[in-house]
Structure formats: C-alpha cells, structure tokens
Structure 1
Amino acid sequence: MIKNILKVLLLFTLLLFGWVTWKIYSTVGWTNFKSTMKHFAQEKILPRDKSNDTTIQNDTIISAGNTIVDKFQDQNLSDNSNEKLYYYFKEPFTNESKALEKEKYSNKSLKKAERKPTNEDAQQAFIIYSKGNITDFVERGLQVRLGKCYENEVSIDEKNYRVTCNVVIVGPNVDELVKTISVFNNNTYDFYYEEDDLWKWNVTEETMNIPFDYSLYEENIKFLDEVGIVIK
C-alpha cells in the first residue's frame, strides 16, 4: 500500500516538473532556459531568506494601470513607428532638449561608477524584467547597450549596490525594436546588484537623474543606419 502511494507521488512530481519545464521553455526560449530553470530551483524549491534585503524590488512596474506584461500584449504597440523612433533616438539632440539638459545637470557631484553591469548583464536583466517578452527579439538581433553609469545614492554596501546607467536598445527589426522601446522608453535605468541572486544584476526604473550620454546614442544611430533603419 505504502509503495503504491509513493509511486503515485513520484509520478505526480515528475508530471509537475515536466509541466514547469515546458512552461518556462515556452516563455523564455532555449537561450535562457538553463539559467531560468536554475532560478526556479532557487526561488521555488530552495528559496533564500530575503527578509533582510534592503534593495528595492520592482519586478513588475505599474504605469497607468498596466504592467509590463500587459503592455507587450497591446496590439497597437508598433504603431507610429517613425514618431517613436525619432522621439527615442533623435529628440534628445534638439536644441531645446540640449538646453534643458545643460541647465539640469550643472551639478557635478555625480560619481561615475567603476563597477557596473556589462551589456550582456543588462540584456539578461531586461529579458527577465520583461518576463520573457523580448527573448525572441534578442535571439533575432535585438541588443541592450549601456553607456555611462553613475553610483546611485541608495547604494548601501557591496551586497546592495545600485548604479544608474544610460541605456540604448537597438536591433535590425524595426517592428520588434519599436515594440521594445514603446515599453522601455526611458534613456536611463537603475541596475542593482544582489550577490546571492543567480544573475547578479537586475534592472528597474531609474531613481536618480543622470546626464544624457550623447556619444552612446550617436554611435548606435550609426548602427541603425548600417542595418537599414533610417530615422526621419
């Protein structure tokens, strides 16, 4: 009798694991499947105690009543592509924006971050932040690139470390690029470091104003020209 019960429990466990595996794979794709399975094991099977964590957690940012996942389901996300591309890449270079930028950041007390995520760290962080919605885009060439980063005021210690970075998102596919920058339309984001987390660096909305990185955007506008995306 006991053996039969154990067999049923084992079968149920295997079926549950199979369902979880399929669910994760279908959400994030093969590129991030292995790391996501490790994260599931850490968070769901052997969760760590986060009661003493002081880092701000913002896995799901709510804006105008919509989560990031909701925004990616918007059927009109890629509408007005020329306008969105111009606003994201070119508008900061207008005389009006430059004048505001110069006045806004006359304060030179900001400290450049010596320790910051790599482009690969940032890209992985955005994949997780988007709940897997940009995984296929990344596999087809979408990239997250970082510019200048500054130490954030809320950094506490080496285990709870935060930087605010200039971020640009580029890619060869206009539709996928526009969809992504429609959701992640800021030029700067916070990256916070958690020593015990699988991916170390996580991303969330900025909590500190930093100067716009013109050279980062100039370089990547040239990249878009090279792949045939002309911003008017």
Structure 2
Amino acid sequence: MVQKLRIQKGFRIFLVIFTLIFNGISLYAQDQLDDNFKKNADKYYNIEYQIPINYHGIDVEHFPLYFSDEKYIRSSFSNGIKNDKLNIVVTFSLIIAKPLETPRSKRARDILGDPSIINPEAIINQADTTLSKVKYLDTLQLKKVNTNRGVIYNMKIDNKYMDIYTRCKKIELYKDNVGRVEIFFFYNKGDDVLIDEEIEKTWGMLKFK
C-alpha cells in the first residue's frame, strides 16, 4: 500500500514537472514566432509590430486566398496570433511595393499591379456584403497606423479556416511607394459585435513607420 502511494506521488510530481516544462517550451515557441515576425516586418517592410494584450503567436495555416485572376487580391499569411480567451484568430499578410529581384516576383507584380494602390474591383469580388458594407477608413484611423488609405470588409469564405472559423473580417492598409498590410480576423457566426470590439482594441498593432 505504501509502495503504491509512493508510486502515485512520484507520478504526480513527474506530471507537474512535465507540464511546467511543456508550457515553458510552448511559451518560448510562441514568443519566438512573434519576435521573428516583428524583426522581419521592421527589416523588410518598414512596419512596426506590437502583439496586443491577451494574444499569443501561432503557426498559421495556408488558406485558399490565391487567385490567378487580377480581379482578386493575392495573399499569403506571414504570421498569426490567437486570443487567449476568445475564439478568435488573427493573421497578417505583408506585401511590399518594390518587386523582389526574381523573374517570378516581377511577373507577379506585372500581373497584379502596385500593391500600394487600392483595387476596388478586387474588393467588390472578395467582399461579402450580406454581412457588412465595405468601409473606407477615416482620417483618424489612418493616422494611427501612419498610412494613406485603407478599407475594411467581411471577406467571402467557402471553406472553414483551420476547420473552425466560418467568417473573416479583413483590413487592408495602403502606404504610397511602400506596399500593403492585410489583417484577417477569423471568427464565427454570432461574434460580429465582438470582432468589431477586438478590431478597435487592437488597432495599431501593425503600422507603417
């Protein structure tokens, strides 16, 4: 009996130590994701990034936002964060105006045009106006992120992101001769008011220098 209790106690101690180590590794990995994104955003895109309160970095999954038609906006996620308490995931896409020095990137720029200029046709094609209207950002909102133009709208989603999220509110920020920032707030039906509150709380987490 005594031996059994000792084994159980030893197992509980091991479990506690293992949990602490695992959580420590997870937190370190999350911090590394945010730090790497922050450094890259600063170095390559001239953008400041500050992770908002109650969010942590996550590995982002690819999402079917790739289109061969210039009527759509191409996006590739650079980083992602998740709310610690709410069922919300935010991802980012950064596009620079200066083409990278490769034939492929130059070709993409020739097809898609200048990423620092708003493409109204592309926005119309991507916007889900049954959920919300397309809104152009006001002067105060633009000033807080140090940019020239911006737009926010609900984006059409055919497939659940991460097999969880059915809705997405997208913010596009445009800076002359610099490029474009895209911020995607993924959430589910019933959280539309909540997502607007989170967008307001986190406004400025990404901004141009």
The TM-score bracket by the shorter chain reads 0.3 to 0.5
Higher helix share: 1
TM-score of the pair, normalised by structure 1: 0.32
TM-score (norm: length of structure 2)? 0.35
1 or 2, which has the higher strand percentage?
Answer: 2
